[in-house]
Chains A and B, each alone.
Chain A
Amino acid sequence: MSAGQPPIDSPQISRLTPVLGPGHTFRSVTDKISSIVLTRPISYGWFVGFAITFGFTAMMTIAIAWLFTKGVGIWGIDIPVGWGFAIVNFVWWIGIGHAGTLISAILYLLNQKWRTSINRFAEAMTLFAVACAGIFPLIHTGRPWMAFYLFPYPATMGLWPQFRSPLIWDVFAVSTYGTVSLIFWFVGLIPDLATLRDRATTKAKQIIYGMLAMGWRGSVRHWHRYQSAYLLLAGLATPLVVSVHTVVSFDFAIAIVPGWHTTIFPPYFVAGAIYSGFAMVLSIAIPLRKAYGLEDYITMRHLDNMAKVMLATGEIVAYGYFFEFFMSQYSGDKFDMYLFRMLFHGPYAHFYYALILCNVLLPQLLWSYKIRHNVPILFLMSLVINIGMWLERFVIVVISLTRDFTPSAWGRYQATFWDWATLLGTIGFFIMLVFLFVRVLPAISITEMRELVAETSEAAAD
């Protein structure tokens, strides 16, 4: 290519943009990534960030303690909206987790090399998001100390859960998802933990990382089985991640409430989950690469690809919105038709318009190459989409429940201070966990980076 400016929007640019900066060796990637954990001193910025998010986590703890003292009456929930923020936040968080599994499992099966530098922290993000999600249904049960009733256990009363209920499916889907995400993440970490053990600067670090690495020594026989196991886990996690948000959507779609009882919910929930999840990955990746100088590892190509995935899933979500509307009118069902009048003209219409703006209109800017390569705008865009996806869940839950079949059952829903404190508290808790994670575990898979170095040096030799 000549010295002239390459044509904008040419697909060549992205394909030629490397997934790893030039000049890296096995040693340089090992040094760089492990030094963030082992030798780099705690920076002022990290400390401030951690302190702020720790404050929010404390707020969450206080909100939950007050909830346990007074009961769910401190929230805005009432009849007809008995779920409120608890389910909105649950669905939002669990959806955010989905991008991590998508990146680590589906892109692995599709042999997408660019996933390598983002999969580790995306998987960590999945775990933290599932942890935040799991809080809400438990504290919403009213008697959270009885939460084990959700699981089938041999009770003296001889009772069993009702396995025909989507709420029980949810228990199994979410707990399986959390478990499989955790072991998938841990299996990926084992070789890196061995690296940290061997390079540990203090005895304590050596012992802790050594115990976690379980004596990994990189034997070819071990790698042989390890690679089979990793591939199988990726194959298992792929249908699992699709099933989880499908089951979450069944919580709504199996009910007969107008606006919920629709077959488009499962695919549209899964697409929405990936949409919000990629937005959250970008919201974390952009500050992370800046703060730790990881621009060589998380390159513009990664950001560009993630923006494209957001754009694609955003279009699927927009299609879902349109067909929800179309089917309600086409069906001639007066309750469904009335519900859509409420979306556009009801008391919560401003939420619906904000949702369309955040999830459908603004993301169309991502068609532009310039926008996708403008990092600050991309960061803002990812925040906008996160807010939009939260609004989507709010609209689904609140508008349908406040406008069902008989006007005598209609109502209003108003979140209280404690609702907001819990939501913002979990956001703080989530970011605090990310802060801790980047300090104690390698945020990028060192092992997979070495594989990438081996492949790029082979390609260069060819």
Chain B
Amino acid sequence: MEQRSHIYGVMAEFDTPEKLIHATERARAEGYRRMDAYTPFPVEGLSEAMGLKRNMVPLITLIGGLFGGLSAFFFQWWANVLSYPEDIGGRPLNSWPAFIPVTFELTVLGAALSCVFGMLALNHLPQPHHPVFNVKRFVHASADRFYLCVEARDPKFHLADTARFLQGLHARHVSEVPDD
């Protein structure tokens, strides 16, 4: 146990996205759950291999858009009908069609801002440091290499066995990820 607390996990490096998907599927079949894959671009089929389902970003975007639109409409209504009513040629104060352009714009603004900030928050970004950056070879994760990291908090994790297992999946390179 003493040794484990200094290890974040074991990381395998692959040449191609296909090998990474294959390795991810094998690792899941083997029973590993606490793991993550790192790729230089979104690899099709990898989320499915990892067992990821839906995410919360669309819901957050919807809520942000509804909030933006409703608050825009009611603010305009309040400002031009209650707070500062102006009679222009006897036209109705609540001339709602004239409020639609601003309502639309703020719907989009609310949705877009909550979409981006929601995505970043769910991803825990900005995050100044993460243990995977301790691996020297990980700089290639933003260029042309594909990584699978099985984390030490996985109940099935065993340093030597997991490393051997990953080695058997045609990994180019397997390295320990120190956690400090």
Residues on A facing B (Cβ under 8 Å): 25-27, 30, 152, 158-164, 166, 168-169, 172-173, 176, 179-180, 183-184, 186-187, 191, 194-195, 197-199, 214-229, 232-233, 236-237, 239-240, 243, 247, 250, 447-448, 450-451, 454
Contact = CB atoms under 8 A, between A and B. Distances in A.
A215 B125 contact: yes
Interface string B99-138: 1011011101101110110111011011111101100001
Nearest to B145: A26
A160 B101 contact: no
A223 B43 CA distance: 9
A197 B142 contact: yes
Contacts of B129: 215
Given A447-B40, A450-B40, 7 more contacts: A161-B79, A179-B109, A191-B41, A199-B142, A221-B123, A232-B58, A240-B108
The bracket for how many chain B residues form the interface is 35 or more
Interface string B67-82: 0000000011001100
A226 B98 CA distance: 36
A99 to B, nearest CB: 19
The interface centre, meaning the residue of A176, A187, A195, A233 with most chain B CB atoms within 10 A of its CB, is: A176
Given A26-B144, A163-B80, A214-B120, A227 B42 contact: yes
Given A176-B106, A221-B52, A451-B41, A162 B80 contact: yes
A243 B103 CA distance: 12
Interface in B40-79: 40-44, 46-47, 50, 52, 55-58, 61, 65, 75-76, 79
A237 B112 CA distance: 8
Given A226-B119, A450-B40, A220 B47 contact: yes
B165 interface: no
A214 B102 contact: no
Interface stretch (B31-39, B156-164, B167-175): B31-39
Contacts of A25: 144
Contacts of A161: 79
Contacts of A215: 125-130
Given A172-B106, A199-B143, A229-B116, A218 B83 contact: no
B83 A158 contact: yes
A173 B101 contact: yes
Nearest to A31: B143
B88 interface: yes
Contact of B113 (A30, A183, A226): A183
A215 B44 CA distance: 23
Nearest to A195: B142
Contacts of A168: 102
Contact of A198 (B76, B86, B112, B143): B143
Given A172-B101, A222-B123, A243-B104, A228 B57 contact: yes
A197 B143 CA distance: 11
A451 B118 CA distance: 25
Nearest to A194: B142
Nearest to A28: B144
A243 B100 CA distance: 11
A163 B36 contact: no
Given A172-B101, A218-B40, A160 B79 contact: yes
A229 B123 CA distance: 12
B95 interface: yes
B20 to A, nearest CB: 9
B7 interface: no
A197 B111 CA distance: 30
A195 B142 CA distance: 5
